[in-house]
Structure 1
């Protein structure tokens, strides 16, 4: 086995300090060198391509299964699944190979923007589901606009911080985000405040949804399924983030570091697999069965189909059921 050793010689000169005083004031110097493993690069490219192909296939199959029904009969979750699967395609970033083909920071910045866009869309999906499942009238301005503004703030701050870091590091290898992050103090404070507001708002919607719909069949199953999957994703994400950063979560450069790069294959594969499998599971559950129909006897059972009744029919009964009950009474 060949043993390769590299020796670096550094000559350091500090301005504003006399040569006689330098040994007294400077006691220790640390150098940090970042290296990239070619095998990890190949591993990352292979799995990104794998997830990209799986997502495209899942999107096509889900869309094909929904074409049999009018969009008016789709449930709220099924309408959102189309958007989430499309954004998941870009989350897996089909343009990522340009990072190694183009001598520019644009592919890396684009990758960070696509990741932030999908994650913020997922946050918007959770808010919309827990709020929209309780009502049928969902006008854009009163229902979606406040949620979009809240999530857009998180998107803007995460994109700005990660893009600045990537761009500066590409132009200057000596760039240190820990020092220059002080220029974005206001951005970081607003980001954390908006994040706390989002969490409180989501908890409020979850508690209110379970309080109003927990005794209703079909709605109760939808809530439990959505909440169970969401808790799995959030819990595993928290564990991965904690193992990755440890006490560094409270550091000033946590936000841009979160969207910059992965330190090893375990971090990359665990997080990417979690997000992709989460969407694949929802696409499988929310896709209608082959024998599903609008007048199916199992229209209130999500196991067979979640698209067959509107919210008014589940709560008050369909016209067919009302007429049948009336004829029986006569």
Structure 2
């Protein structure tokens, strides 16, 4: 189990008990945030399902395990968007359904993994639903999702639902501290890291890539804009040109915390620069612009061809004008 992240171990132990009693259901829906590494524990489960020699874990030595480790097992089928951010098409699901109905090529079970399940378009969802209504024998469907509320209720009802437990702060910090890649770096304030409290792998990348420097720059730019009532267009364009989607999420966290601070319910100590922002940004301004950010995020994640950099900059201009 040492190849699993610590926050995945409780789920794996429960799945091992089900494997040992041959109680794995025909369809599993597993909900977890991005950056949790859930693919690791799902791959471990899948390998155990198709293994020839072990009940509750893959042996790692049989022909089936060799194929699983190499990513070439003929009875394991991953259904993924053809391009990042794209939908899963009905043709992809129909192909998976055909694989589910065929006989196992190695004489065991077949496993179909759909990730992320919410990427299925309406036709794809309906095609999957027909198969789940009459599940094929010796076939297990595993649906991974970051937001199961985007799935058809009828699909959810036909799956055994699992939710990854919340990652405790101590578990995350101990895991981060164990990484040699960040042991020589300056400690990162929890106020900053808590944005990724439920996405530990992303938190690690955040530290390794020194993104906390960019986070600090965002706070500084925003504070200076409110103090001077001036908009540093050149700096802002350069700032949001790189990874605008992630920085949009930073803004959402920031304005959510500003609202909490106004109500006195901020859970952890905040840096001085944040407290200055709270003094300058009224609650109503933080509230209205937070909801504008939510709408902007929805538009950018559901529509193609939009210029994220320009749209965020337009939001920022509106924020300073309202100050």
Q: TM-score, normalised by structure 1?
A: 0.24
Larger Rg: 1
Normalized against structure 2, the TM-score is what?
0.24
Relative contact order (C-alpha < 8 Å, sep 6+): which is higher? 1
Greater helix content = 1
